[in-house]
């Protein structure tokens, strides 16, 4: 009779260890997220005159400055683009914000801005990979402005929505 009690206790302890291990494994699998990005504010240079020229927008003040004698940006302020990357907490994340080159329509966009987590911040340089710690929250805020250049006369009857890429990888 004593043997059967020992076997039951051992069996129960093994089941507890087995279930505890399964629960721990399940929690660690579900706790990790696949990093993703969300646009919170769309980058906007204001009204544009479709003639050759260039302007820039400061990401931190949203002030627009014309860089050439052709005043292609008619507003004095725009809207900085803001994005959030949701990553796993305390992970290194590589981020690259790529320029938009002239693909035949005469429009070039070169971003600049800042990456900020609750752990650190970094200045964005177009087409350059930056590594930043996602901090305790796992959230990295991205704010971008940059330089807009028009190389040729554009039709004012067309809508231009130029794309640029934000690439990121959690290490």
Output the average pLDDT for the chain: 82
Would you state the pLDDT for residue 160?
Answer: 61
Residues forming beta bridges with residue 149, ordered by sequence position: 54, 108
pLDDT at 102: 83
pLDDT at residue 48, rounded to an integer: 86
Instruction: Give SS3 for 50.
Output: coil
CB proximity list for 144: less than 8 A, separation 6 or greater: 43, 59, 80, 81, 82, 83, 97, 111, 112, 113, 124
pLDDT digits (tens, 9 = 90+) for 14-37: 434 434 444 344 444 446 899 999
91 CB contacts (<8 Å, ≥6 apart)? 133, 134, 138, 170, 171
pLDDT (0 to 100) of residue 26 = 40
Cα–Cα distance between 85 and 148 in angstroms, integer? 24
Tell me: the pLDDT tens digits for 34-68? 999 999 999 999 888 888 999 999 999 999 999 99
């Amino acid at each position: 009779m004593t043997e059967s009690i020992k076997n039951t206790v051992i069996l129960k302890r093994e089941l507890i260890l087995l279930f505890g291990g399964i629960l721990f494994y399940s929690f660690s699998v579900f706790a990790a997220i696949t990093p993703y990005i969300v646009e919170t504010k769309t980058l906007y240079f204001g009204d544009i005159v479709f003639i050759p020229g260039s302007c820039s927008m400061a990401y931190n003040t949203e002030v627009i400055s014309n860089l050439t004698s052709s005043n292609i940006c008619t507003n004095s302020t725009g809207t900085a683009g803001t994005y959030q990357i949701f990553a796993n907490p305390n992970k290194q994340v590589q981020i690259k914000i790529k320029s938009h080159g002239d693909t035949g329509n005469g429009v070039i966009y070169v971003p600049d801005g800042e990456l900020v987590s609750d752990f650190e911040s970094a200045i964005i340089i177009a087409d350059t990979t930056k590594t930043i710690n996602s901090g305790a929250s796992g959230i990295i805020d991205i704010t971008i402005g940059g330089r807009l250049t028009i190389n040729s006369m554009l039709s004012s009857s067309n809508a231009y929505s130029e794309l640029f890429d934000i690439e990121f990888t959690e290490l």
